[in-house]
């Protein structure tokens, strides 16, 4: 219980700190896209911590936020990766379209009681983001290498969460996600850097 609480708090603080430190130089809509991904991670970790500490009334809210973390968050991450690797600035329409797709997935899968399909959204977005980052690696972008590190660690954490017994999977899952958020922050730091000169 204590290790789960500490790992959840670590993820909560890391995701929020990465957003504050590394994403301030991004354009407003790019910052909002990445912010939705990182803040849903941070909020879910915070609510999970409160749940572990005995606040059981928060359980329905926690379930909803976890679903949002697994639908809206990965879609925003995918769009953010696309704009980062292409060195383009998301427009207002692109931002609202991405948010609409993420929220549409959330409500659609919950409405039709396809909650098992929610677990598919994040791995699919990770794979597509990895493919986009591989394209950036061919273009010798340093940020693409950090995206590949982040997606690899995130994929490993998702595999751990789905395959291990829940009482053993949480601590490494949360810590691996925290490391992947740091890698995403480093990708922002090296946005215009060349990998090999």
pLDDT tens column, 1-39: 677 788 888 889 999 999 999 988 889 999 999 999 999
Q: What pLDDT, on a 0 to 100 scale, did the predictor assign at position 135?
A: 94
Q: The pTM is what?
A: 0.88
C-alpha dihedral sign at 177, 132, 126, 23:
positive
Query: What's the total number of domains in the chain?
Result: 1
Among 159, 150, 147, CA closest to 177:
150
pLDDT at 167 over 60: no
- Tell me what percent of the residues of the chain surpass a pLDDT of 70: 93
Say if 158 falls within a structural domain: yes
CATH number at residue 182: 1.20.1070.10
pLDDT tens column, 71-100: 999 999 999 999 999 999 999 999 999 999
CA 60 to CA 191: how far, in whole Å? 39
Q: What pLDDT, on a 0 to 100 scale, did the predictor assign at position 134?
A: 94
pLDDT tens column, 93-118: 999 999 999 999 999 888 888 877 88
Q: How many residues does the chain have?
A: 197
Tokens at 66, concatenated: 């976890």
Say if 166 falls within a structural domain: yes
DSSP the chain: -HHHHHHHHHHHHHHHHHHHHHSTTS-HHHHHHHHHHHHHHHHHHHHHHHHHTT-GGGHHHHHHHHHHHHHHHHHHHHHHHHHHHTT-PPPHHHHHHHHHHHHHHHHHHHHTT-HHHHHHHHHHHHHHHHHHHHHHHHTTBHHHHHHHHHHHHHHHHHHHHHHS-HHHHHHHHHHHHHHHHHHHHHHHHTTT-BS--
Say if 76 falls within a structural domain: yes
Q: What residue numbers bound the domain in which 172 lies?
A: 2-189
Say if 194 falls within a structural domain: no
Tokens at 71, concatenated: 């639908």
Residues 6+ apart with CB under 8 A from 75: 98, 101, 102, 105, 121, 125
Say if 195 falls within a structural domain: no
Tokens at 7, concatenated: 């790992």
pLDDT at 171 over 70: no
């Amino acid at each position: 219980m204590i290790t789960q609480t500490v790992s959840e708090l670590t993820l909560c603080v890391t995701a929020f700190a990465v957003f504050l430190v590394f994403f301030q130089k991004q354009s407003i809509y790019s910052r909002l896209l990445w912010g939705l991904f990182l803040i849903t991670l941070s909020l879910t970790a915070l609510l999970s911590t409160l749940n572990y500490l005995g606040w059981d009334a928060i359980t329905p809210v926690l379930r909803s936020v976890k679903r949002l973390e697994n639908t809206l968050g990965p879609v925003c991450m995918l769009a953010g990766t696309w704009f980062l690797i292409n060195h383009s600035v998301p427009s207002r329409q692109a931002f609202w379209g991405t948010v609409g797709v993420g929220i549409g997935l959330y409500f659609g899968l919950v409405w039709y009681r396809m909650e098992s399909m929610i677990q598919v959204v994040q791995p699919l977005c990770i794979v597509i983001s990895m493919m986009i980052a591989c394209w950036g690696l061919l273009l010798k972008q340093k940020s693409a290498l950090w995206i590949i590190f982040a997606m690899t660690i995130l994929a490993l954490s998702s595999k751990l969460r789905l395959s291990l017994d829940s009482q053993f999977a949480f601590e490494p899952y949360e810590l691996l996600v925290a490391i992947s958020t740091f890698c995403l922050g480093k990708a922002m730091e090296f946005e215009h850097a060349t990998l090999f000169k």
